[in-house]
Amino acid sequence: MRSPRSRFEIACRVAAFALLGWLLGSSVIPSTPPSLERASVSEIASRLPAWTRAPANTAFHGEFASTPESWIVDWLAALRHSGHVVSWSGAPAALALAAETLPDPAGDVRIDVAAPESAKVLLADDGGVIDSAKVTGFGASVVTPMAIGSIVARVGDERAAIAELDSVATRSIVVIGNAGWEGKFIVSALEERGWPVIARFAVAPNVDVAQGVLARLDTSRVAAVIAIDSMVQSQTDALERFVKSGGGLVLAGPSSVAPGLRSLAPGVRGARTRSTLHAADTMRLGSTGFYPVAALNPGAIALERRGEGIALAARRVGAGRVLQVGYDDSWRWRMAGAPGSERAHREWWSRVVSAVAYVPSANTSEVRAGWGSAPLAGLVDRLGASRPELPNRSTRAPIDPRVFLVAIMILLIAEWGSRRLRGLR
């Protein structure tokens, strides 16, 4: 059995030869020390080809004052998946952009932008600048008569973009109610805007007058229905099927009190309120009073308030949408309002109808968004959250080989000294 001193001598010899073998191996196959490459957002595009050819133990770090283009982020994500450590730091503006072609004969486009509060957003398309807006609250919204090509939003150096939108084919609007000034001027406003209108008005018990032919109420021909008063209760079953299949319904004034429509209405209609008017007063929307929504039904939201009451409320029922309009006698606004009130009345009713009108789900006029529409969110999704750069391990000085030579000599001297003390050579 070997003594402890003998085992110590063997250990010294094995360690000495192991260090000697490591030195010989590292001289034949030199190891590349880990390294860190960094680049700013303006430099990174030109650095990517060289980064792709870098050794596998090279880490990359981007310093981004704004979000790089999508193809750069895709390239960095590919490097990350190939085994490289990829990180980034900086504070680009959180910007998101969405746009949709409204179901409106004029082809209006609504652009919604989310950005930091008080930021100034510049909107443009391929034809030039569309508008600018200051963000208040959660974001800003702009309606433009048309958009040429792609739409771009800028906040400082940050840029978000979406592709060109498709147009929308408008379907007919059905107006149902008792004959009166409100129905007459709603039809006039929609037709002046370009909407195809089918009207049905009651002039006496069991006596109706109609404009256009409506064989069946379905979304293949009709985009929305406007119910002016409780006369529409004879159509409640057909209306419910129409709305649940995706059609839109506008309940104007007293129409929401129809018993069959209460299950569709966004809320319960309150008592009519009236404003004090004088002969010289200029009419505005709601000047003659309105029917406030006293209580909202489940799933409904208030879109507009007037004083203490809700003037506009909306609710989704099945695949369709229902909008309850509390304003009454809007025709007075058109006829006795300030200059431009006729156009304002026309555009207001068109916006009301557009808010609920049926649009086929296959149509790409739905809200268009993608990676480029929310660049910071896409960057975080592909590369992770912002973090400080990793320590540059290439700055560490390699261990001097002479240290290993000294260690080998110490081990061999220890072995030799132990053997000499035992009387061995």
> How would you write the pLDDT of the chain (425 residues) with one tens digit per residue?
567 767 777 788 778 888 778 777 766 665 555 688 889 988 999 999 999 998 888 889 999 988 998 889 999 999 999 888 899 998 888 898 988 888 888 888 888 998 888 889 999 998 889 888 888 877 888 888 888 888 999 998 888 888 888 777 788 999 988 888 888 999 999 999 999 999 988 888 777 788 887 778 888 889 999 988 877 777 888 888 999 999 999 998 776 666 777 788 898 888 777 776 666 667 778 777 788 888 888 889 999 888 778 889 999 999 899 999 988 888 888 888 888 889 999 999 998 999 899 987 544 444 444 557 888 888 998 898 888 866 554 445 556 677 778 787 887 787 777 777 766 55
Pick the CATH number of 172-356 from 3.30.200.210, 3.40.190.10, 3.40.50.880, 3.40.50.1220: 3.40.50.880
CATH class of the domain defined by 96-167+368-373: mainly beta
Question: How far apart (Å, rounded) are the C-alpha atoms in residues 327 and 182?
Answer: 11
Question: How far apart (Å, rounded) are the C-alpha atoms in residues 182 and 27?
Answer: 95
Residue 404 contacts residue 19 (beta carbons within 8 Å) = yes
Exposed / middle / buried, residue 397 (Cβ in 10 Å: 0-12, 13-18, 19+): exposed
Residue 385 contacts residue 379 (beta carbons within 8 Å) = no
Q: What is the DSSP string of 13-63?
A: HHHHHHHHHHHHHHHHSPPPPPEEEEEETTTHHHHHHHHHTS-TTEEEEEE
Neighbours of 194 (CB within 10 A): 12
| Residue for token pair 């009419």 | 283
Answering whether pTM is above 0.95, one says no
Partners of 385 in the β-ladder: none
Structural domain boundaries of the chain? Answer: 4-91+378-421, 96-167+368-373, 172-356
Sign of dihedral through CA atoms 399, 402, 406, 409?
positive
